[in-house]
Amino acid sequence: MKVPTIIRDPLLRVARACGYGVYKINREGARYGAIMTEATYSPWNKDDEFQATVAAIKSHTLVDSYRCYELWSLVDMVADCEGDLLEVGVWRGGTGALIARRAQLSGINATVYLCDTFAGVVKASDKDPVYVGGEHADASVRHVNALLQDLGLANARVLPGIFPDDTGHAIRDSKFRFCHIDVDVYQSAKEIVDWIWGRLEVGGIIVYDDYGIQTTAGITRLVDEQRHMTDRRTIYNLNGHAITVKIR
């Protein structure tokens, strides 16, 4: 088994192709450390609908139960808002199906748009310490549509391609109440936020996956850059999420 190797940028793809775990040195590494908590409250264990949904999607997501339950809860919190729901970074459709199922149960009469390249991560840059592009390409529209059909979810629509470059035009006239960003890298996430912010209703929520995780430091950087903005409030969670609420 080959060990992770720190290597210069021009060789990243070659080393990856040879089976090495490749990491760039992150100057912000000192900002990261082990986090332990004494909290043990686990309300998801008594939520039968959530447990049934998680059991159905578990092979279709890389997201843990803590973050899945947070998505589940936050979708319900925007039931009184207006607009559609958006997820960018779908992989095999697990969290997208979970969002659609919760919207269905919460009586949200809206479309859940699920956007993914289905060709892996795009727009990796020097702001991202690990991702070089092309990761998580082991998924397809077929995977996602099969899951949605199995769960009886007619309220979701898959948009394949780079978002917003290839597919943003299809929903440019929509308003939104909720957006889940799970794209792993800085530039892609930034372009999604820039695209949706003017379309996000006041009270609407953006959830950033992979916040605070060292291998996705670009996401942490992007969220932290918004600390001074007065049109939003952000909760910097310790479970791998940052949650932004639009306040004006």
pLDDT digits (tens, 9 = 90+) for 115-145: 999 999 999 999 999 999 999 999 999 999 9
pLDDT tier, 8 (very low <50, low <70, confident <90, very high otherwise): very low
pLDDT digits (tens, 9 = 90+) for 45-63: 999 999 999 999 999 999 9
Axis crossing angle, helix 94-105 with helix 48-57, rounded to the nearest 10 = 150
pLDDT for 21: 54
pLDDT for 15: 55
Distance of CA 175 to the CA centre of its chain: 19
Residue spans of the domains in the chain: they are: 1-30, 57-246
pLDDT tier, 32 (very low <50, low <70, confident <90, very high otherwise): confident
For the chain, where are the alpha helices, taking DSSP H only? 12-17, 48-57, 65-77, 94-105, 141-150, 186-196, 217-224
How confident is the prediction for the chain on average, in pLDDT? 91
101-105 contacts: CB < 8 A, separation 24 or more?
101/49, 101/53, 101/151, 101/153, 102/53, 102/71, 102/72, 102/75, 102/76, 103/75, 103/155, 104/153, 104/155, 105/49, 105/76
Residue 149 pLDDT greater than 90, yes or no: yes
pLDDT tier, 221 (very low <50, low <70, confident <90, very high otherwise): very high
pLDDT for 74: 98
Write the CATH number of the domain with boundaries 57-246: 3.40.50.150
* Beta strands at 241-246 and 200-209: parallel, antiparallel or unpaired: antiparallel
DSSP character string of 159-174: EESSTTTTTGGGGTT-
**Better pLDDT: 79 or 31:** 79
Question: Tokens representing 81?
Answer: 């808002």
Supply angle C-alpha 175, 77, 81, rounded to 5: 30
pLDDT digits (tens, 9 = 90+) for 173-198: 999 999 999 999 999 999 999 999 99
Residue with tokens 């470059």: 165
Residue with tokens 């949706």: 196
Mean pLDDT of 105-112: 98
Residue 39 pLDDT greater than 60, yes or no: yes
pLDDT for 11: 53
Residue 16 pLDDT greater than 90, yes or no: no
Is the peptide bond prior to 164 cis by the omega test (within 30 degrees of 0)?
Answer: yes
Share of the chain above pLDDT 70, in %: 88
